[in-house]
Structure 1
Amino acid sequence: MPKYSIVVPFHNEEDSVTTLYDRLKATMEQVGDTFELVFVDDGSSDRTYRLLEEIAAVDSRVLVVKLRRNFGQTSALAAGFDHAQGDFILAMDGDLQHSPHEIPNFLAKLEEGYDVVSGWRAQRGDNFIMRRIPSRAANWLMASLSGVNIHDFGTTFKAYRREVIHNIPLYGEMHRFIPALASWYGASICEIPISNPPRDSGKSHYGISRTFRVFFDLLTIRFLLKYMTRPLHFFGSIGALGVVSGSLLAMWLLVLKVVTGQHIMDIHGPIFVIAGIMILAGIQMIGIGLLGELQVRHFHTASHRAPYTIDRVIRLRSEESLLQ
C-alpha cells in the first residue's frame, strides 16, 4: 500500500499531461516514500486519455480512471479519492498551474498532525476584475458562513488524511467546500501559500458565470453545516410560525364574527385569505421538514452511491505483484 496518493483530474489537458507526470514523478521520488499517481480522465475529447494510457502502460505507480463522460471536477475528484489507496491524499489540477515542487510542504503539514492542508494563492496572476475580485468576495463569504478561517476555498491544491476525505460525500460542485465540510467532522485545518502562475497552454474552464453558481453553493453549504442532520429544525420553525400566526388571525376573525356578527368575508376577506394561506403554508413547511428528516435517516442507512460512472481503470501490475 502506498503512503501517498496524488489525485489529478484531467479534462482536455493533452498539452500538460506528460510534463505534469514527469514533474510529479521527480518530486515524489525525492520525497522517498511509496506513492501512487491517480489520474482521472473526466470525459476528455482530445488525446488526454491516450497519453494517460501510455503513461500507465510503463509505470505501475500510475492508476488511470476513465469516466464515461464529463461529470465535472467534483465528481472527477471523488472518483480519484475513491480509488486512492494512500494514507495521505493530495489533489491538484492538471493544467500545470499547481507546482509539484510544493507538494513536500503539504506533506510536512500532514506529518505535523493536520487533517486538511489547503493551498492559498496569495499572489494570483489572473485577471483582477474578472477573477480576483469575485474570488475574494466569494472566499470572504465562505469563511464567514462556514466559520473556517482560510483565505482560499477555490483552489484544488489541497492535502488530506485518508480517513477524513473518505468521510466527506462529494457531489455537484462541493469540492471547494471540503474544508468547511471537514470542519463539521472535527478535522484540523491549516493553510499554506502556493504559487499561481498563468496557464502555459490550453483554455481555462472557469469564467465569471461560475461566480453566480458559487453564491447558490454558499447557501447550500450554510444550510448543510447548520441543519444537515436536523432539517426539521429549519423548516419546522418556519412552518410552526406560519401555523401559529395564521391560527391567531383566524381566532381573531372568529371572535369578531361571534361578538359583533360582522360578515367576515365582506369586511375582512383579505385577512381571512391570508390566515388560511399562512396555516396551509406552515403545514407544508412542517411536512417538508419531516421529509428532510426521512432523507437524513435514509442517508445514514443507505449504501454509498457514486456521483460518476467509470468506463475503465488501468494500472500496470508491478513485477513484485507478478512474482507473488
Structure 2
Amino acid sequence: MTDNPIQISVLIPLYNEEESLPELSEWIERVMIENQFSYEILFVDDGSKDQSWNVIRELSAVNPHIRGFRFVRNYGKTAALQTGFQAATGEVLITMDADLQDSPDEIPALYRMIREEKFDLVSGWKKKRYDPITKTIPTKIFNAATRSISGVSLHDFNCGLKAYRKEVVKNITIYGEMHRYIPVIAKWNGFAKIGEKVVQHRARKYGYTKFGLERFIFGFLDLLSIAFVNKFGRRPMHLFGSLGTLMFFLGSVIAMWLIGSKIYKIYISHEVYRNVTENPLFFLALVSIMVGSQLFLAGFLGELFVKQSISKTGDYVVSDTVGN
C-alpha cells in the first residue's frame, strides 16, 4: 500500500459474485491508474457460499490495493457497508455493487463532486434501468414514499453507487436493513449537502439478483423505524409522555363529568342510565386513564434507558481478513 494519503476507498459488499470480481477489480484499477488516484478497494464478503472469498484472496495477492473482509455468515448488505465504513481510510468513499451493474467509470465524476463541489454525499440515479417492471414500479413507489417522509429529494435511494465524504461514514451508524436510507440518516446527523448524479445502469452480466420484493415491505418498516428513532430516540418522553398526558387528561375529564352529572342530576339528553357505571363512556374513560398512565411510565423508563445507554460496536463477526 502506498504511503501517500489515500484519495478514494471503493467499498464493495458482495454475496456469491465470484464470476464478476476479477473483471470488476480490473476495471476499477484501470480507472484509478488513468486518473492517477491513490486508492484502496475493500471487498466485504457477506458469507458467500461460492468461491468469492478465494477469488478475493487471489486478487489481493496480485494487487496490494485490495483488502478483503469475510463474514462468518450472511449478515446482510447493511452489515457489510458498516464494516467497510469503519475500515476505510480514503478521503472519499465510493460504494458500488459487485454485479457489474454499476460502472466504475462514474468514479472520477463522483469524486470531483465531493472534493470540488463540497457535497457531503452524492447518490447515483439510475434514470434508465434494465430491470423488469415488477421491480421498477415498486421502486418508484418506494422512492416516492421515502422522499415524502424523509424530506430528502432523491430519485433513487436504493442505488448502490454513492460517494461520501470521509467524515460522513465515520459519524453515522447503520444496522438492520437501513443501507437504503443512508442519505436520510446522514441528513438527520447534520450532513445536509446531498447531491445526485445520473449514472449508467448496466444489465446484469453474471448470476442473479439476491433481493426479492419483500425488501420493499421491510424497507418501508425500516423507514418508519428510522423516522421514529431520529425524532424520539433521544427524547422518548416527548412522544410517550405527551400521548400519556393527553389520554390521562381526557379520561379524567370524562370521568369527572359523568360523576358530576350524577351528583347534580344533570344528564345528557336521552340519558337513561341510573348509575354512572352503567354508562359505557365511563369505562372508556377509565381505560384512557390507565393507558395514559402506562404511556407516561413508558416514556419515563425510556428516558432512563437513554441516559444509561452505551453505544455498542463490533456486532458483526469477521472471520478472516486479507491485505494491509
Is the TM-score greater than 0.5? yes
Q: Find the partner of 1:304 among 291, 312, 322.
A: 312
Percentage of pairs with the same residue: 38
Q: 2:251 aligns with which of 246, 252, 260?
A: 246
Following the alignment from structure 1 to structure 2, what is the Cα–Cα distance between the partners of residues 28 and 194?
18
**3-state SS of paired residue (2:175):** coil
Contact 1:125-1:196 at 8 Å conserved across structures = yes
CA shift, 1:298, in A, is 4.1
| Dislocated runs of 4+, deviation >6 Å | none
Is 2:275 the counterpart of 1:271?
no
Unaligned stretches of 5+ residues in structure 1: 318-324
What displacement does 1:195 show? Answer: 1.1
Tell me the SS of whatever aligns to 2:264.
helix
Is residue 56–residue 68 contact of structure 2 (8 Å, CA) maintained in 1? yes
Can you list the C-alpha shifts for 1:25-62, whole angstroms capped at 9, x where unaligned? 11112221211111100000000011011111222211
| Aligned pair partner of 1:196 in 191, 197, 201 | 201
- Deviation at 1:165? 1.4
- Structure 2 partner of 1:147: 151
Q: Is 1:40 matched up with 2:37?
A: no
- Alignment of 1:313 onto 2:299: no
For the residues of structure 1 that align with 2:8 and 2:305, how far apart are their CA atoms? 35
CA distance in 1: counterparts of 2:314 and 2:289, whole angstroms: 40
What is the count of residue pairs matched by the alignment? 311
Matched, 1:221 2:221: no
Matched residue, 2:271 = none
Match of 2:297 among 287, 297, 312: 287
**Counterpart-to-counterpart distance in 1, 2:157 and 2:302:** 28
Q: Give me the whole-angstrom Cα distance separating, in 2, the residues matched to 1:255 and 1:28.
A: 81
Q: Superposition RMSD on alpha carbons, in Å?
A: 1.7
Deviation at 1:228, TM superposition (A): 3.5
C-alpha displacement of 1:296? 3.4
Query: Which amino acid in 2 is paired with 1:226?
Result: K
Whether the 8 Å contact between 1:153 and 1:176 is mirrored in structure 2 is yes
For the pair 1:258 / 2:263, whether they are aligned, the reply is yes
Task: Please give the secondary structure, in 2, of the residue aligned with 1:90.
Answer: strand
Q: 1:1-324 maps to which residues of 2 (within 5 A)?
A: 1-111=5-115, 112-128=117-133, 130-187=134-191, 188-260=193-265, 262-265=274-277, 267-268=278-279, 270-299=280-309, 302-315=310-323, 317=324
Is the CA contact (8 Å cut-off) linking 2:178 and 2:219 kept in structure 1? Answer: no
- Distance change in 2, residues 1:287/1:30 (3 Å): farther
TM-score computed with the length of structure 2 as normaliser: 0.91
How far did 1:295 drift? 3.9
Alpha-carbon shift at residue 258 of structure 1 (Å): 2.7
1:39 aligns to what SS in structure 2? Answer: strand
